A and B are shown apart, each in its own frame.
Chain A
Amino acid sequence: MIGRLAGGVRLWFSPRRMASQGTTPDYRYSLANERTFLAWLRTALALVAGGLAVEQFLTGLDRPLRVGIALFLLLGAVVCALRAVNHWARCELAMRRGEDLPVTRLPAWLAVGTTVAALVVGVAIGLGWSR
């Protein structure tokens, strides 16, 4: 488990290690992979902006609740950004080796997390759970 993790992280940093695997795929797929990476990064940035907005604009909420929601969104952004680079590397590797692309359950968890955050904010505002 730790060995696999370390191997994955080493792959992020080493273009030679990546290039030594399999054969160079059609560059159009590599560019598509790059755009997917950027789309995940934008999702992370949207979560950062959401966290900052909650912290700045929902001043009517109790501070622990407000900071809690902001932290939840910012930690989501951290996970998204790390996942972006990891998924980019895994997809690039799978394409070079001619294997199936990696599957992940992160989109499902991201949807659940965003729903929970939206519900908490909605309930807090709706119940007048404020100072």
Chain B
Amino acid sequence: MTPPDGVAGRETQRERTRLAWRRTSLAFLVAVLLAWRGAVVLGGGVRYTGAVLVCLAWAGFLALAHRRIAALAAAGAPGPARPPGPAEVLGATGTVLAVCAVWLVWLVLLR
């Protein structure tokens, strides 16, 4: 399918990308809530530490998403949008990996 062209098409592309960052932030929130649910319901200092670390990772992700969304908005119509810098892409991957690492360590070593 040919992508939509013109100013409206450009705006659609930017909007969709902005919403994709928002969706991913919300998906991250599910992991954060599950981590806190585990800490509150099952208890234990280690679980609370894990939940706090996951929260920090989420905060990092939100900061990256905000930076990327601001860059998309700053590009403005009708100029082309800049592609994401490796800072956003790697940072987003890194925060997800950090959450995994916290829980892998929790599952394997601390129980």
Contact = CB atoms under 8 A, between A and B. Distances in A.
Interface of A: 12-15, 18, 26-35, 37-39, 41-42, 44-46, 48-49, 51-53, 55-56, 67, 70-71, 74-75, 77-78, 81-82, 84-85, 88-89, 92
A57 B82 CA distance: 43
A33 B20 CA distance: 12
A88 B89 contact: yes
Contact of A48 (B24, B83, B96): B96
B35 A52 contact: yes
A34 B83 contact: yes
A55 B38 contact: yes
Interface of B: 3, 9-10, 13-14, 16-17, 20-21, 23-24, 27-28, 30-31, 34-35, 37-38, 41-42, 80-86, 89-90, 92-93, 96-97, 99-100, 103-104, 107-108, 111
Given A35-B20, A45-B96, A52-B38, A28 B31 contact: no
A92 B81 CA distance: 15
Contacts of A30: 81, 83
Specify the main secondary structure of chain A where it touches its partner: helix
Given A41-B24, A41-B92, A78-B97, A34 B84 contact: yes
A48 B37 contact: no
B104 A38 contact: no
B86 A48 contact: no
Given A34-B83, A81-B96, A48 B90 contact: no
Contacts of A88: 89
13 contacts: A27-B13, A27-B83, A37-B92, A42-B24, A45-B31, A48-B31, A52-B34, A71-B104, A74-B100, A74-B104, A78-B97, A81-B93, A81-B96
